[in-house]
Amino acid sequence: MGIPPHLPLEVSPEEVRELGAAVVSRLAEFVAEVPRHPASSAPDMAAVAELVAPFTAAPPEEGGDLSVLLDRLCRAADLAMETAGPRVLAAIPGGGIYTSALAEFFTRTVNRFGGLAAAAPALTAMEESVLRWMAQDVCGLPTGSSGILTTGGSTANLSAVVTARHIRLGESLENGTLYVGAQTHHSVAKAARIAGIRERNIRVVPTTGRLHLDVAATAETIRRDRRDGLRPFLLVATAGTTDAGTIDPLPALADLAEEENLWFHVDAAYGGFFRLTERGRRRLAGVERADSVTLDPHKTLFLPFGTGALVVRDPGALAAAHQGTGSVLQDVGSSDALPDYAYRGIELSRENRGTRVWLPLHLHGVAAFRTALDEKLDLAEHAYEQLTGMPALDVPWRPELSTVTFRIRPRDASPEAVEKADEATRKLPQHINASGRVLIYSTVIEGRQAIRMCVVAYATHREHVDEALDEIAAAVAAL
Ligand SMILES: *Cc1c(COP(=O)(O)O)cnc(C)c1O
């Protein structure tokens, strides 16, 4: 048997097998090759238009050959940053474990409706078990807490801001004010703008020298704003900042939010799952006092891109903020035993998003994730020690999670020397990354350039971090 030239939309069981096997066999080759891939095969974006031209054809009237199309897909996937590999230490790497993709393949094939529990109650119950695990076991929120799986941290933050606004401000958004820090992820301000909050009422409060939200200054800003007739409604703390992996003083900020009657949101998109480890649980104490927490399974639970989570103390608040139904749904039953995710979030039609989290957790066990996260903490600590041993570098902050930041040390404290060191730091990534052995990005922290090494890919081990350290040492020596 072969796959017929005109493949019907309704495929036979043999075709399911044969088509699937063709894809899986390509993926097995891909997975075998990943460790040998350079950290990035993405071209200079100035020259990209020509390279992608062969991939832009409109779909033909008659179908084509799967192996030809798979060839094209593989070539397209190869022209990329190697986010599935161990060498990407830039931004917050993804990774993406294979077993999650398998769950996704299953989910997409059975294609149950994930917006309303009645459409697939057992799959909904599985999704809910994952959310309760995240809310209660990982974050330490009380019994009854749960949430919604989103497409990422940005959409989770959006639902958090909308919920806080709905619960604390009601119908009138006038003078509603929220508090973030300079290290808060930009998706929070973006969410606030989308949620109708005035730009000038997104208050960026000061941070301390250790890049933590300054609690006293935050309290002062909130009180002054209240005296000025504003309506403070939301305080956002970050549990693992994107730039430097620092953790805001969560217990003190929880106290402040309580005293000032603000919604307390913790953005733990990067840091949250480190609570599975002993060190992480200690450092991330206070998350359990949040009203809502953003987590990003596609970061620190190593899932493929497209899975975030918002967990909340009171799922009723989520439902109140995201309510809305139509008469076309009047025949669909509901039960107090199971949530309708359409009424907890932005989407109506959606897949059963929980399966891709559920299968890896049940197949590998939670301990496998804990061990991997512990390893990333060790690797960051190792990198910190090695980098502090390089005299040309300043390594200003000991890693609180798995990100290490550093910069070229200025010759002296004069503004000229600092500016020169900043220029050198800005140019460093292109030298570090030139060989393709690693990919590292820079950022700007408090107006100064900094390089960040972020170890989150599940496949990144000691040898890859050592390679990165070699490249850094070579790039610094060549300055
Ligand atoms: C990555 C990140 C986000 C945004 O999450 P996406 O999944 O990329 O949308 C928000 N907050 C923090 C702290 C992050 O690290």
Number of domains in the chain: 3
Q: Is residue 312 classed as helix, strand or coil in its secondary structure?
A: strand
In short, whether 322's Cβ falls inside 6 Å of ligand 1 is: no
Q: What is the dihedral of CA 95, 98, 102, 104, to 10 degrees?
A: 0
Determine whether 119 is exposed, middle or buried from the number of CB atoms within 10 Å of its CB (0-12, 13-18, 19+): middle
Q: Are residues 300 and 402 in the same domain?
A: no
Report residue 9: phi and psi, to 5°.
-65, -35
Q: Are residues 221 and 360 in the same domain?
A: yes
**Within a domain: residue 100?**
no
pLDDT at 42: 86
Cα(251) to centroid(ligand 1), Å: 22
pLDDT at 132: 98
In short, whether 267's Cβ falls inside 6 Å of ligand 1 is: yes
**Within a domain: residue 157?**
yes
Most ligand 1 atoms within 8 A of CB, residue of 238, 242, 250, 274 to mutate: 242
Mean pLDDT of 338-353: 97
- Per-residue pLDDT of 432-470, as tens digits, reads 999 999 999 999 999 999 999 999 999 999 999 999 999
- Using CA atoms, how far residue 116 sits from 122, 148, 334, 341, 350, in Å, is 11, 13, 8, 6, 9
Confidence of residue 6 (pLDDT cuts 50, 70, 90): confident
Could you tell me if 118 and 332 are in contact, meaning their C-beta atoms sit under 8 angstroms apart?
A: yes
pLDDT at 30 over 80: yes
Question: Which of 330, 364, 398 delimits the end of a domain?
Answer: 364
Confidence of residue 5 (pLDDT cuts 50, 70, 90): low
**Within a domain: residue 8?**
no
Q: Which residue bears the tokens 């119950």?
A: 125
Confidence of residue 94 (pLDDT cuts 50, 70, 90): confident
Kindly report the CATH number assigned to the domain that includes residue 117: 3.40.640.10
pLDDT at 95 over 90: no
In short, whether 271's Cβ falls inside 6 Å of ligand 1 is: no
Confidence of residue 369 (pLDDT cuts 50, 70, 90): very high
Mean pLDDT of 198-203: 97
- Using CA atoms, how far residue 5 sits from 2, 65, 69, in Å, is 9, 7, 13
Q: Are residues 300 and 441 in the same domain?
A: no
| Residue 137 zone, left/alpha/beta (φ > 0; ψ -120 to 50; rest) | alpha
Q: Which residue bears the tokens 């690693």?
A: 438
Q: Which residue bears the tokens 């909340």?
A: 312
**Within a domain: residue 101?**
no
Confidence of residue 93 (pLDDT cuts 50, 70, 90): confident
Q: Are residues 339 and 194 in the same domain?
A: yes
Going by C-alpha positions, the residue among 437, 405, 411 that lies closest to residue 424 is 411
Q: What is the domain range of residue 431? A: 368-478
Q: Are residues 312 and 419 in the same domain?
A: no
- Using CA atoms, how far residue 389 sits from 141, 220, 292, 382, 395, in Å, is 41, 40, 40, 11, 9
pLDDT at 4 over 70: no
| Residue 87 zone, left/alpha/beta (φ > 0; ψ -120 to 50; rest) | alpha
CB burial readout 135-144, b (16+ within 10 A) else e = bbebbbbeee
Q: At a CB cut-off of 8 Å and minimum separation 6, what does 237 contact?
A: 213, 248, 249, 250, 253, 264, 265, 266, 267, 286, 290
Could you tell me if 263 and 164 are in contact, meaning their C-beta atoms sit under 8 angstroms apart?
A: yes
Question: Which of 338, 364, 390 delimits the end of a domain?
Answer: 364
Q: Are residues 351 and 216 in the same domain?
A: yes
Tokens of 314: 């009171």
Mean pLDDT of the chain: 96
Query: In this prediction, what percent of the chain has a pLDDT beyond 90?
Result: 95
- Per-residue pLDDT of 142-184, as tens digits, reads 999 999 999 999 999 999 999 999 999 999 999 999 999 999 9
**Within a domain: residue 50?**
yes
Mean pLDDT of 15-42: 95
Cα(406) to centroid(ligand 1), Å: 22
In short, whether 244's Cβ falls inside 6 Å of ligand 1 is: no
pLDDT at 266 over 80: yes
Query: In this prediction, what percent of the chain has a pLDDT beyond 70?
Result: 99
**Within a domain: residue 274?**
yes
Rounded to 5°, the CA angle 273-274-276 comes to 80
Q: Are residues 179 and 303 in the same domain?
A: yes
Tokens of 67: 């192996």
Lowest mean pLDDT among 48-52, 143-147, 160-164, 238-242: 48-52
Q: Compute CA 63 distance to the chain's CA centroid, rounded to the nearest angstrom.
A: 37
Determine the longest span between alpha carbons in the chain, in angstroms. 78
Tokens of 280: 């992480």
Most ligand 1 atoms within 8 A of CB, residue of 190, 238, 284, 299 to mutate: 299
- Per-residue pLDDT of 391-416, as tens digits, reads 999 999 999 999 999 999 999 999 99
pLDDT at 293: 99
Question: Which of 364, 389, 411 delimits the end of a domain?
Answer: 364
Cα(448) to centroid(ligand 1), Å: 22
Cα(317) to centroid(ligand 1), Å: 22
Confidence of residue 315 (pLDDT cuts 50, 70, 90): very high
**Which residue(s) pair with 267 in the sheet?**
238, 294
